[in-house]
Amino acid sequence: MTALAVETTGLSRRYGRRWALSDVSLGVAAGSVVMLAGRNGSGKSTLLRVLATALRPDHGNARVAGHDVRLERDLVRRKVALLGHHSFHYEALTARENLGVAASFLGRSNDESLLARVGLEARADDPVASFSAGMRKRLALARVLLQDAEVVLLDEPYGELDPPGFALLDRVISELRSRGATVIMATHLVERGRALCDRALMLEEGRLAWSGPAALMPAEAPGGSFVP
């Protein structure tokens, strides 16, 4: 049985007069690791944010983990974790406190081992305002792990990370895979995506331009450089 963890039909979203996402229909099998490719501004982040219910779709719909993103927002949210461009942190609080805030809303105890896992134990009690971009990314990753979600959406997770961070993220993704979670990862790192992911989706100007096995993914969209 191949249940779909993510299923979208005609999904569209606009910012002002520009369509960031238009008429995207796709399905992602539960338990698969999918790469989301596309140039800057092709709609990758918008797609992930719509799937995470951070943005409402303007047209079309999506089901994530079996629930409707419009009508069953809270049920979707219980099963989805998003690592986005914004790290969702309070600058004035420490790393430990930030995780504690998230844990208190999740009704969980603060898992201290997560900070060690992402390599932040030495700076756990420093305010996030003093963190570098890479450290913020690590903290955001710890928060995603805390959520223990069925569907994990990673928006350029490798950005700003150092080489040990790359290795950490590779490990995390393979652990998520072995746990049976579905991962959709937007990234520009084609080689890494081909190696880590099962399937790939490519967006071009808000539309789905290519989909298939990650190993066969072209470096550019098929109609990549067409200019009318």
For other proteins, the binding residues (CB under 8 A) are 2-4, 12, 14-17, 19, 22-23, 25-30, 32, 34, 52-56, 58-59, 73-74, 77-78, 80, 82, 84, 86-93, 97, 101-102, 104-107, 127, 136, 143, 147, 198-201, 204-212, 223, 226, 228
Nearer to other proteins, 167 or 215 (CB): 215
Of residues 46, 52, 123, the one with CA closest to residue 81: 52
Map residue 160 onto helix, strand or coil: coil
Nearer to other proteins, 82 or 172 (CB): 82
The length of the chain in residues reads 228
DSSP code of 135?
H
Phi first, then psi: what are they for 55, rounded to 5°? -120, 140
Closest contact distance (angstroms) between CB of 192 and other proteins is 18
Of residues 81, 73, 114, the one with CA closest to residue 95: 114
Closest contact distance (angstroms) between CB of 175 and other proteins is 19
Tokens coding 150: 């069925």
Closest contact distance (angstroms) between CB of 200 and other proteins is 8
Tokens coding 32: 């698969």
Nearer to other proteins, 19 or 118 (CB): 19
Closest contact distance (angstroms) between CB of 81 and other proteins is 8
Nearer to other proteins, 167 or 216 (CB): 216
Report whether 29 contacts 180 (CB < 8 A).
no
